[in-house]
Chain A
Amino acid sequence: MVTDLHTPQTSLARRSVLTGAHPTLRAMRVMFLVWVLVIVAGITYFSVIGLTHH
Chain B
Amino acid sequence: MGSAEATASRNRAIRFVRENSLSLFFLVIFLAALTGQAIAGHELFNQEQLAHGEQPVSFWRYVTSSHFGQAVMENWQSEYLQFALFALATVWLLQRGSPESKELGKSGLESDQVQKVGRHAHPRSPRWARVEGIRRTIYSNSLIIVMALIFIGSWFAQSVTGWTEFNENREAHGDPAVSWWSFVGTAEFWEATLQNWQSEFLAIGSFVVLTIYLRQRGSPQSKPVGSAHDTTGVEG
Contact = CB atoms under 8 A, between A and B. Distances in A.
Given A23-B12, A38-B30, A50-B69, 9 more contacts: A8-B122, A39-B150, A46-B157, A49-B65, A49-B164, A50-B66, A51-B160, A54-B64, A54-B66
Interface of B: 12, 15-16, 19-20, 23-24, 27, 30, 64-66, 69-70, 72-73, 76, 122-124, 150, 153-154, 156-157, 159-164, 167
A12 interface: no
Interface in A37-52: 38-39, 42-43, 45-47, 49-51
B125 to A, nearest CB: 10
Contacts of A49: 64-66, 69, 161, 164
Given A28-B20, A38-B27, A49-B161, A43 B150 contact: yes
Interface string A1-40: 0000000100001000100000110011001001100110
B123 A8 contact: yes
Contacts of A23: 12, 16
A17 B76 CA distance: 33
B157 A27 contact: no
Interface size class of A (residues with CB under 8 A): 20 to 34
B123 A50 contact: no
Contacts of A34: 27
The 8 closest A-B pairs by CB, nearest first: A50-B160, A50-B161, A46-B69, A46-B157, A43-B153, A47-B157, A8-B123, A53-B164
B69 A8 contact: no
Contact of A43 (B23, B30, B66, B157): B157
